[in-house]
Amino acid sequence: MNFKEGLDFDNVLIVPQLHNNTEFNSRSQISLISNSYFLNCVPVIASNMAVTGTFEVARVLSKHKMITALNKYYTLEDFKNNFSKDLNIIVSVGLNNNDEFFRIMEYYGDDIRWINLDVANGYMRKFRFFVKDIKKMYPKHIIIAGNVATPEGARTLVDYGADIVKVGIGNGSVCMTRHMTGCGYPQLQAIIECIGTDEDVYKIPVISDGGHKTPGDLVKAFVAGAVGVMTSSLFAGTKETGNILYGMSSHYAQKKFNSYGKYKASEGKVVQNISNFLGENLEDVCCQILGGLASGVSYCGETDLNNIIGRRNFIVSRSQIYNNFWNK
């Protein structure tokens, strides 16, 4: 038997650091713009859930240079009615029923920077060859692939063509994978281990996908080494996203998008009548998230988000208790 302990966001705090910049006196001086895979954008991504991965969300987030991973149920006609070069969007596609994706890429591919290859179980043999095929078809695009939660899974996807690996199994706010399957990995631990160490031949770029309850958790993900963070719960519960959030493998989603099968267990739940603790409007939520990120960067002793990525200056604090903001 192999047992080990793994840490999650709730188990640690970031240790504050002294500033060496004598000119710094306000978090308004903080830069949150990525200088790597999400160049000229804030690497905070609304996940490709049905309620957050929408053009409506993208229009708001893009004003703040944040990114939206569109859900994979949009058609070419939807793109023709909504697409704009001013939107920071990621196009998502799964293993099955992806004809519309290829039509969209044929029409808009030159204006799209990122492709999100999205499955719940990124360990499937079929998926890694799918990653290889898509990278061969679109070599100039940044390919994001997942989800996995272990170094072996992350390295395999990179070996097959992924530029960024999406990390997170069973940690989402409406995900029931851990309850239904018993499988998963603490999110903070998964980020750190999937990236690798300085002794590795190469370190793996990862997106932390899910498990972020507060803007502070986003900061922790960056300090752990993630090049991007993806969340649905922090954007849900606003006027633009509605007061319902559901897992994409829930019975609700399976029936809504005609993906229900006889032996397909529901690994997601539905949360209704939710409200966002950061604000009623998505605009307010964006400002709160950006404010928390900027303040977090400043507490790390830096003025640039890029400089805190991979710092890993954590201290274990098991006494932290987060409120369930949706069920006060």
Give 27-46 pLDDT, tens digit per residue: 889 999 999 999 999 999 99
Rounded-to-integer distance, Cα 305 and Cα 260, Å: 42
User: Residue 144's beta-bridge partner residues?
Assistant: 116, 164
Domain boundaries, the chain: 9-20+29-316
User: Does 217 have pLDDT greater than 60?
Assistant: yes
pLDDT at 274: 85
Can you tell me the distance from the alpha carbon of 296 to that of 289, in angstroms, rounded to the nearest whole number?
A: 10
* pLDDT at position 325 over 50: no
With bands split at pLDDT 50, 70 and 90, how would you rate the model's confidence at 320? low
Q: Which amino acid is at 282?
A: L
Q: Which stretch of 13-27, 169-183, 280-294 has the lowest confidence by average pLDDT?
A: 169-183
Report the distance separating Cα 147 and Cα 63, nearest Å: 28
Indicate the pTM of the whole model.
0.90
Q: Which of 235, 216, 218, 215 is nearest to 227 (CA)?
A: 218
Residue 209: which of 224, 194, 191 has the closest Cα? 191
**Alpha-carbon torsion 162, 222, 118, 48, what sign?**
negative
Residue 164: alpha-carbon gap to chain centroid: 11
Does the bond joining 171 to the residue before it have cis omega, within 30 degrees of 0? no
Q: Strand, coil or helix: what is 153?
A: helix
Query: Which fold, 9-20+29-316?
Result: TIM Barrel (3.20.20)
Angle between helices 215-224 and 187-195 (to 10 degrees): 30
Confirm if 256 and 49 have CB atoms less than 8 A apart: no
| Cis peptide upstream of residue 147 (ω within 30 degrees of 0) | yes
What is the H or E stretch that residue 284 is in? helix 282-299
91, two tokens = 């196009």
Lowest mean pLDDT among 7-21, 89-103, 187-201: 187-201
Active site positions, annotated: 175, 177
* CA dihedral angle for residue 239, residue 255, residue 252, residue 73, rounded to 10 degrees: -40
Structure tokens at 47: 């996940």
**N-term to C-term CA, the chain:** 40
Q: From CA 75, how far away is CA 101, in angstroms rounded?
A: 8
